[in-house]
Amino acid sequence: MVKGIEKYGIPVVHMATVVPISRTIGANRIIPGVGIPYPLGDPTQGDADSKKIREKMVRRALKALQVPVTDQTVFDKDI
């Protein structure tokens, strides 16, 4: 799906927990998720903290969409 959309020239940031799969399918902008059953947040840390994690990750995703890349790039740290 990532490639199907990106081929129209729209940047896609793939937020996925198993980064090697994301690389194999050919995503160009990748942000590692927290866990497979909860990619954006961590409910085991309570709702408030979980949401904070999510906000941080979504902010990072918005930034990743603004970073020019020439190759597959994993954004695993804050930009």
Partner 1 sequence: MAKYKIVHYLNQFFGGIGGEDMAGVEPEVRDEKIGPGLAIAQALGEDYEIVATVICGDNYFGENLDKATDTIIEMVKKYEPDVFVAGPAFNAGRYGVACGTICKAVEERLGVPVLTGMYEENPGADMFKKDIITVQTGNSAATLRKSLPKIVNLIKKMATGEEILGPSAEGYLERGIRVNYFAEKRGATRGMDMLIKKMAGEPFETDLPMPKFDRVAPADAITDIKNAKIAVVTSGGVVPQGNPDHIESSNATKYGTYSIEGMDSMSPEDFTTIHGGYDRQFVMKNPNLVVPLDVLRELEKAGEFGELVNYFCTTTGTGTATGSAAKFGDSIGKKFVEDHVDGVILVST
Q: Which amino acid is at 77?
A: K
* Ramachandran region, residue 46 (left: φ > 0; alpha: ψ -120 to 50; beta: rest): left
Rule CB under 8 A: is residue 75 a binding residue for partner 1? no
**Count of CB atoms within 10 A of residue 30's CB?**
22
Is residue 74 close enough to count as binding partner 1 by CB under 8 A? no
Amino acid at 55: E
Please, which of residues 16-55 interact with partner 1 by CB under 8 A? Answer: 16-18, 20-22, 24-29, 33, 35-41, 43, 47, 50-51, 54-55
CB of 46 to partner 1, least distance (A): 12
Q: How far apart are CA 20 and CA 51, in angstroms?
A: 26
Judged by the rule CB under 8 A, the positions of this chain that interact with partner 1 are 1-18, 20-22, 24-29, 33, 35-41, 43, 47, 50-51, 54-55, 57-59, 61-62, 65-71, 73
